[in-house]
Amino acid sequence: MPPLSVKDLTMPAAAFTMAIVLTAHVYNSINHARSEANIARDQRLNEVAEKRKERYENALKSINNKEKEKGEIS
């Protein structure tokens, strides 16, 4: 068997390095997508909570107005 040289190890080392870089990129992309999805979900939940709070406040105002009108009529 002939002795190994640097040229014999270049392609396997490049392939191994490429596999590591690709794996790191894939994991990073997945984690980034997850974090973006969490941020978007939190924003939507906050919007829904604000709308509910606003509807609740409007309902209380309308109830109070009806009670005032009822008290004025009686």
- Quick check: is 43 in a domain? yes
- Quick check: is 17 in a domain? no
- Quick check: is 10 in a domain? no
Q: What pLDDT, in 10s, does the model give residues 13-72?
A: 999 999 999 999 999 999 999 999 999 999 999 999 999 999 999 999 999 998 888 877
Query: pTM of the predicted model, to two decimals?
Result: 0.62
Please give the structure tokens belonging to residue 1: 């068997």
Widest Cα–Cα separation across the chain: 110
For 39, the domain range is: 35-74
Query: Number of folded domains in the chain?
Result: 1
Torsion of CA 3, 5, 8, 14, to 10 degrees: 150
- Quick check: is 16 in a domain? no
User: How many separate helices (H) and strands (E) can be counted in the chain?
Assistant: 1, 0
- Quick check: is 68 in a domain? yes
- Quick check: is 54 in a domain? yes
* CA–CA dist 39, 65 (Å, integer): 39
- Quick check: is 45 in a domain? yes
- Quick check: is 57 in a domain? yes
